[in-house]
Amino acid sequence: MNSSDTQAPVRLTKLTKASGCAAKIGPKTLSEVLSALPKFSAPELLVGLDTSDDAAVWKISDELAVVETLDFFTPVVDDPYLFGKIAATNALSDVYAMGGEPKFALNIVGFPSTIPPKVLQEIMTGGADRVKEAGAVLVGGHSITNDDPIYGLAVTGFVHPDKVRTNAGAKPGDVLLLTKQLGVGIINTAVKAEMATAAEKEEAILVMSSLNAPAKNVMDCFTVHACTDVTGFGLIGHSFEMAKGSGVTIELDVSGTAFLSGAKDYAGMGLIPGGAYRNREFVGDNLDPGSVEEVYLDLLFDPQTSGGLLFSIPEKECDAALSAFEHSGIKTAVSVVGKVLPEEEKLIRVV
């Protein structure tokens, strides 16, 4: 079932103040909260909270580890079916970022009692169709009544313990590949303001609704020192976490970075989601912005919804990886967005 067959009774994006991953609690606030929690460890816990990774990894045997994650957010588009599809894509991405394969998922639902149940059915159908496309199964979930509609998944995946990817292994001399264009938060802000063109909106939807499975599969053939997906903390925020976890400095190059059509223009108009300012506060004095135009910093701090995978790989493998992406049929733009340097005073440099 697709919502194009019926007219949605409401504009979902009008029911919330912030859309998609831009609704996330700011990374600085989140870091303060998490720092006060008890510390957990176990011999089987391969990846936990320490490195701000995308998912937890628990070793079952020498051949098998479980990847566990959950992710949900508020509507980023008005079409219920498409919203469900994008939210599920975003949740599944955490498993791919860890090098795993999704196996089963549970729904997470918050839904207003004032909206017809048919809308919720379409949201959940979009999510179910995306889970099926990922080769996983949907096995239940939990729902509550909530003023703001929210939807997402708890996802369980499998990975070989020796093939786990984290964001803490980047090495000086690596280059950084990003598998989707940036600017989703800015374009979605322009859509809410009814300023974005149909073509700009469609490009953003393509980015948000594209599974990261093909990108993960391409990079299985190369040396990946570190990986994360770029979502609510923006490229700079997630690069900052990678730099901290790896003990390096990351240099981001705006000249090589792929942006969505119109994103720079709308950023120049001030159509910046609030999450971008929270991301900037999080990085704080750890950023060396150089002489880069302010509009590019806004783009790099822009919170992404269902963004691409950020891979740190040896420079000598970069050309071959780009060629592999070119022949893979991936519809989103893959770009070289920076490189990894030995640790300096500032962990993020923009050129």
Q: Which residues are designated catalytic?
A: 21
End-to-end Cα distance, the chain: 46
Please choose, from the candidates 71, 296, 302, 89, the residue with its C-alpha nearest in 3D space to the C-alpha of residue 187: 302
3-state secondary structure of 129: helix
Which residue reads 């990946």 in tokens? 224
Asked if 90 contacts 81 with a C-beta cutoff of 8 angstroms, the reply is no
- Work out the angle between the directed axes of helices 274-283 and 234-246 (0-180°, nearest 10): 20
Count of alpha carbons within 13 angstroms of residue 27, beta-carbon side: 25
Structure tokens at 238: 């997630």
Asked if 318 contacts 228 with a C-beta cutoff of 8 angstroms, the reply is no
Q: What is the CA radius of gyration of the chain?
A: 19
Distances (CA, A) of 262 to 184, 246, 265: 10, 34, 5
* H or E stretch at 339: strand 335-342
Beta strands 348-350 and 287-288 are parallel
- Largest pairwise CA distance in the chain: 56
3-state secondary structure of 190: helix
β-strand partners of 350: 252
Asked if 156 contacts 68 with a C-beta cutoff of 8 angstroms, the reply is yes
Asked if 272 contacts 302 with a C-beta cutoff of 8 angstroms, the reply is yes
C-alpha–C-alpha distance, residues 251 and 191, integer Å? 31
